[in-house]
Amino acid sequence: MAPPTLVGMTNSMHPSPIGLLNGKVVFITGASRGIGAAAARLFAAEGACVVLAARSTDALDRIVTEIRADGGVADAVPLDLADRTGIRAAVDRVQELHGRLDGAFNNAAAVQQPGPLDTTTDEDIDEQFAVNFRSHWTAMTAEAALMRQAGGGAIVNTSSIGSRRANPALPAYGAMKRALNSITESAAVTWGSEGIRVNGITPGGTATEMIDAWEAVSPGVIEHNIAATPLGRMAAPREVAEVAAWLLSDRASMVTGAMVPVDGGAGA
């Protein structure tokens, strides 16, 4: 029986690859689990050479081995997004491996301890700023510098439905994701003339380890998400990755500065 969070899915949600990213070099952060891991497998199946980054190197190595066994091209680089020097070094590694960068999926995030604004700790706020906002700023500037050498590219940032409205349960997380939306749009306007497209996605409830951890400390979160979603279920990580793949592809050549909802209608 299908997990309750994914009831209603059909095989049409896992279409056969069509070479959407053939020949492209794509860098993915947060690639060891959840949406990032799904993106790594999908992008490679769609023809991209993928470079995967995350703190969990064992998980990355397993995904790289799996992709290579299927005939894909994949490499891994360890990355702590709180380390600005490490982010730049990871992008430099992409250049060492492939000599260019065509696409970047900045997907990694940290989730704060759930609770109202007045109980959120200074340490939680600092982590949210470092990982969910500053890391994207640092990554985008490094990625754009490498893309510029090849005449352009595409960047996709993972934000959240929680960035589009009040987020009383995760106020610091929501605030930093809303700030991420702003720099995504600013980067799109700033770099558009250089052939660099920048877009974001705002997933709603998605069946990942992150929401499982939230459920563990706030029972009922998953049920609430499903009830608030017109499609009546959580998204599978691959469904979110599919939207990122399209935005990174040449099929989205006129799309930049967009924040695309991937929330089953929950934000409508």
By annotation, the residues acting in catalysis are 173
Q: Name 105's bridge partners.
A: 28, 156
E-assigned strands of 159-239?
A: 196-203
Going by their DSSP bridges, the two strands 153-158 and 196-203 should be labelled as parallel
Cα 130 to Cα 132: distance, rounded to the nearest angstrom: 6
3-class SS of residue 235: strand
And the tokens for 258? 């967009």
The H or E element that residue 209 is part of is helix 209-217
And the tokens for 109? 């995030």
And the tokens for 89? 């070094």
Identity of the residue numbered 54: A
User: Of the candidates 102, 93, 86, 107, which has an alpha carbon nearest to the alpha carbon of residue 40?
Assistant: 107
Backbone dihedral region of 195: left (phi > 0), alpha (psi from -120 to 50 degrees) or beta?
Answer: left
Backbone dihedral region of 152: left (phi > 0), alpha (psi from -120 to 50 degrees) or beta?
Answer: left
And the tokens for 178? 């809303």
